[in-house]
Amino acid sequence: MSMEESLVKVIGERYRQVLERIEETAQRAGRPAGSVRLVVVTKTQPLDVVRQAAAAGVEILGENYADEAVSKIDSLKDDYDVEWHMIGHVQSRKADLVARYFTMIHSLDSLKLARRLDRFCAQAGRRLPALLECNIGGEASKYGFPAADERLWPDLLSEFEQIARLPHLRLRGLMAMPPYALDPERARPHFQHLCRLRQFLVEHLPEVDWSELSMGTSVDYRVAVEEGATYVRIGTAIVGPRPSQH
């Protein structure tokens, strides 16, 4: 077995193990089978690792940087049928790349970006599924709509409604990343907070689809599944540590 075949096997085994843990956790929480999808995060991973993940059967790949992702997408598009999800902050000048290349965006964090994406999606002749990124921990270092203070949630409704009306975006729900902690239980209150926000939006903007919740990483994905995540974003536990940081 070659080195590459060996790495494909290792990634495949990790991937299946995580899928099994997700399903076990969902079942214990009384959730139906297949209700949680796994996004394998490959940001800053070299192309050969991403190729090995695709060869191992990974169905959804998550990227944070549009330029980096586009080169990977172009390199793999003829060989593998995978979904590419944008999960990182998108600079306005990169909105055209997201509109043309990605299956879904988890990190829609402003009305300005939504309008740009809508315009570029119109030019590309497509409608892009999108999740609204919400800053639920009140961290200045995090992007996202300010959602830490429940008393201010009504202030979000106008912008969310305007985004929902954009014809070339399709709102599907919410995304959040809680403050980092080694103890996964410390993330639980933040996941519950995002669930309450979704319920608030269901009541106040019922015409919008709020069915998806993207939350949970390698550290805390089991807790996220228990609290209702429909997407979990896992990198290190499957493809190993990132070789570099942007």
Asked whether residue 32 is domain-assigned, the answer is yes
pLDDT at residue 244 is higher than 70: no
What is the tens place of the pLDDT at every residue in 114-145? 999 999 999 999 999 999 999 999 999 999 99
What is the count of structural domains for the chain? 1
CATH of the domain at 144: 3.20.20.10
Q: What's the pLDDT band for 162 if we cut at 50, 70, 90?
A: very high
pLDDT at residue 15 is higher than 60: yes
pLDDT at residue 246 is higher than 70: no
Which residue segment(s) compose the domain that 85 sits in? 3-239
What is the tens place of the pLDDT at every residue in 183-199? 999 999 999 999 999 99
Contacts 24+ apart (CB under 8 A), 77-85: 79/51, 79/54, 80/51, 80/54, 80/55, 82/54, 82/58, 83/59, 84/60, 85/39, 85/60, 85/61
Q: What's the pLDDT band for 1 if we cut at 50, 70, 90?
A: low
Residues 6+ away with beta carbon under 8 Å from 13: none
Q: How many CB atoms lie within 10 A of CB 7?
A: 20
Asked whether residue 214 is domain-assigned, the answer is yes
pLDDT at residue 223 is higher than 60: yes
Rounded Cα–Cα distance for residues 232 and 88 (Å): 14
Q: Computed from CA positions of residues 136, 141, 143, 146, in that sequence, does the dihedral angle turn out positive or negative?
A: positive
Angle at 192 between CA 210 and CA 39, to 5 degrees: 60
With beta carbons less than 8 A apart as the criterion, state whether 86 and 104 touch: yes
State percent of the chain over pLDDT 70: 98
Rounded Cα–Cα distance for residues 19 and 202 (Å): 29
Asked whether residue 176 is domain-assigned, the answer is yes
pLDDT at residue 78 is higher than 60: yes
Residues 6+ away with beta carbon under 8 Å from 34: none
